[in-house]
C-alpha cells in the first residue's frame, strides 16, 4: 500500500468521507505535506466558480446571464423586502419583492426611456420624469421608450443560488 492510500484509509477511519482527495507532496526539506480536499458536487463546483468570477462591483455578466453577489456591499439592500436597486451598469431594476423572490425588470422607462428616476411603492415603479407608473406583474409589458404610459415593466427570469442572484436577460 502506498503512502497516499494509507493516509486515505486512515482519514476514512477517522470519519472523513471516502471521496476525500488526498494529495501528498514533498517540500524542500523532505517533509511531507498533506492536503485534504473534500470532493465537491457539480453544483458546489459551479457555485464556487461563480463566486470566483464575481468582480469588484459585485457582479459577473456571462453573455446574457447576470450573476449578482447578494452579499456584496452594492447589493445589500436586496436583503430587505420592498427595497430595490437600480443597477445602471446592467440596465436593470432589482427588487426584493418577497423573502423568497427578487424581481429583475428593465430600468428603461416605457414612456421616453429615462432610466435613473425610479421610485417604488405599492407594487409599482414610478418614473419621476413625467410621473408615469408601471407594474411589476407579468402580462402586458410595455417596451422601453415606446411612449407607453401604463403596463408592466419588462421582466427577466431570476433564480437564487445560495447568495447569488441569477438574471437571465434572454427571457
Ligand atoms: S420618461 Fe419616464 S415617465 Fe416619461
With a cut of 80, say whether residue 151 has pLDDT above it: yes
Q: Whose CA is nearest to atom 3 of ligand 1?
A: 130
111 lines ligand 1 (CB under 6 A): yes
**Reported pTM:** 0.78
Query: By percentage, how much of the chain surpasses pLDDT 70?
Result: 78
Instruction: Examine the pLDDT at 10 and tell me if it is beyond 80.
Output: no
Distance CA 77, CA 14 (A): 44
Of ligand 1's listed atoms, the one at least distance from the Cα of 117 is: 2
DSSP 87: E
> Is 44 within a domain?
no
- Ligand 1 in reach of 114 Cβ (< 6 A): yes
In this prediction, residue 27 carries a pLDDT of: 45
Pocket test for ligand 1, best of 130, 134, 147 (most atoms within 8 A of CB): 130
Residue 9 alpha carbon to ligand 1 centre in Å: 68
Q: Examine the domain organization and report whether 92 and 130 are in the same domain.
A: yes
Into how many domains does the chain fold?
A: 2
The verdict on residue 72 lying in a domain is: yes
Ligand 1 centre to CA of 89 (Å) is 20
151 with 123, same domain?
Answer: yes
Let me know if residue 162 belongs to a domain.
yes
Cell of 29: 526539506
Q: What is the mean pLDDT of residues 143-169?
A: 97
CATH of the domain at 115: 2.102.10.10
Of residues 138 and 75, more confidence is placed in 75
Amino acid at each position: 500500500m502506498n503512502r497516499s492510500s494509507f493516509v486515505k484509509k486512515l482519514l476514512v477511519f477517522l470519519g472523513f468521507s471516502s471521496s476525500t482527495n488526498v494529495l501528498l507532496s514533498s517540500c524542500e526539506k523532505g517533509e511531507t505535506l498533506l492536503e485534504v480536499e473534500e470532493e465537491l458536487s457539480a453544483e458546489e463546483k459551479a457555485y464556487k466558480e461563480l463566486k470566483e468570477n464575481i468582480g469588484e462591483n459585485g457582479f459577473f455578466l456571462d453573455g446574457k446571464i447576470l450573476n449578482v453577489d447578494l452579499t456584496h456591499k452594492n447589493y445589500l439592500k436586496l436583503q430587505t423586502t420592498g427595497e430595490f436597486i437600480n443597477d445602471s451598469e446592467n440596465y436593470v431594476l432589482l427588487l426584493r419583492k418577497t423573502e423568497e423572490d427578487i424581481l429583475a425588470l428593465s430600468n428603461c422607462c416605457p414612456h421616453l426611456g429615462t432610466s435613473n428616476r425610479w421610485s417604488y411603492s405599492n407594487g409599482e415603479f414610478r418614473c419621476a420624469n413625467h410621473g408615469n407608473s408601471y407594474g411589476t406583474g407579468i402580462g402586458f409589458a410595455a417596451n422601453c421608450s415606446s411612449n407607453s404610459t401604463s403596463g408592466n415593466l419588462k421582466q427577466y427570469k431570476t433564480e437564487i443560488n445560495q447568495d447569488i442572484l441569477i438574471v437571465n436577460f434572454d427571457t
